[in-house]
Structure 1
């Protein structure tokens, strides 16, 4: 059996302060989903061809751009688009689009917003191991909920890809059915939330025959 092609992808970890401490936004994938069925995950998905053409209100932070390479701006757009589609929460700033918004951005643009990646922080990268029905080269971004435009509990504009959208305290997240890599990312998020120094990005590279762990300086 031939392994599935590896697709570039972006995932967003939204963090906020809750009554019981730091919280992250997660939802549950459908039971019949081909990839990670029934698991609780962060919003995210594959890069679309049009993501590279989306005009952003501001550039990514320079250190993120340097670590992400040529796909930096497209991945940032994909992260904001996936967050919008799966949760209905816009990461944007008031502005006017330079050209008509693509179909999957029309609801976002209708709010008078332009995607703004200024608050995104690249914190993790992982490539899905061989043998899975779908494989992704996923870049994980962290963003503070305060960067969202509008109420962060209003999921009314979300699509149906994720159910049970909710803010989960970091102290309770392991009670949920998580993919292994999500548990690893959660440990990184918890360390960042606790103020641990962050000078490189963990990278689980499963692109070859043997898994490798690296750090992107």
Structure 2
């Protein structure tokens, strides 16, 4: 996690997970592995198969760009993502009418699947591995706190429960709903 810079227009000075939008190139990037069946199925509830894969590629790319950590293999200045390591946690959509909006998917990967040294691009400050308790001691965005709660619940589930659970989406003012 890291703290967004005070000069950011969107969510300044709050602790967030690394991430960002899907770029056009994310649809064409290689991967060292493809999405697992469960993550793919969950992402494809609200995305085409190509978009679901690009979301995974974007997650690995943003992780690398913002933290220096590699989920996959570094190839030149890019990363060939280990998509099989990704797990779907939840989704969040900002309320309508906001000037800056997002439709974010929150994905997780085992720490063992990531390698490299934490050395970000400057987009996030105070980069580090944080326990949920340590993260909450900082100013976390409201949605980040809610995603941490979902993540902790996900960690407690068996593999079977994770694969069959109802999908969660936060809509509007961070209201928790079951994904339809």
Q: Is the aligned partner of 1:155 residue 2:121?
A: no
Match of 1:118 among 55, 70, 84: 84
The equivalent of 2:58 in structure 1 is: 78
**Is residue 136 of structure 2 the alignment partner of residue 174 of structure 1?**
yes
Paired residues in the alignment total 171
Match of 1:67 in 2: 42
Distance (Å, rounded) in 2 between the aligned partners of 1:211 and 1:111 = 36
1:158-189: CA deviation from partner (whole Å, max 9, x where unpaired):
21100110121222322111111111101011
Residue 149 of structure 1 deviates from its aligned partner by: 3.0
Residues 5-40 of structure 1, C-alpha deviations (whole Å, 9 max, x = no match):
xxxxxxxxxxxxxxxxxxxxx100011101100000
- 2:30 is matched with 55
Is the contact made by 2:118 and 2:128 (CA closer than 8 Å) also made in structure 1? no
Alpha-carbon distance in structure 1 between the residues aligned to 2:132 and 2:175: 27
Q: Which has the higher strand share?
A: 1
1:47 deviates by 1.0
1:36-92 deviation digits (Å, cap 9, x = unpaired):
000000000111111111121211011221221211101000000000000000000
Instruction: Note the residue ranges of structure 1 that are not aligned, 5 or more in a row.
Output: 1-25, 94-107
Instruction: Please say if residues 35 and 133 of structure 1, whose CA atoms lie closer than 8 Å, have aligned partners that are also in contact.
Output: no
Highest RCO, 1 vs 2 (Cα 8 Å, sep ≥ 6): 1
Change beyond 3 A, Cα 1:187–1:63: same
CA separation in 2, counterparts of 1:112 and 1:52? 14
Q: Which blocks of at least 5 consecutive residues in structure 2 are unaligned? A: none
Q: List aligned pairs for 1:13-92, cutoff 5 A.
A: 26-69=1-44, 70=48, 71-92=51-72
- For 2:15 and 2:90, the matched residues in 1 are separated by 18
Q: Larger Cα Rg: Structure 1 or Structure 2? A: 1
Deviations 1:92-115 (A, max 9, x none): 04xxxxxxxxxxxxxx31289622
Change (3 A) 1:194 1:67: closer
The alignment's TM-score, normalised by the length of structure 2, stands at: 0.85
Could you say what secondary structure the match of 1:31 adopts? coil
Structure 2 counterparts to residues 201-216 of structure 1, below 5 A: 201-206=167-172, 213-216=176-179
- Counterpart Cα distance in 2 of 1:211 and 1:36: 14
C-alpha contact 2:143 2:174 (8 A) present in aligned 1: no
Q: What is residue 10 of structure 1 aligned with on the other side?
A: none
Select the structure that is richer in helix.
Answer: 2
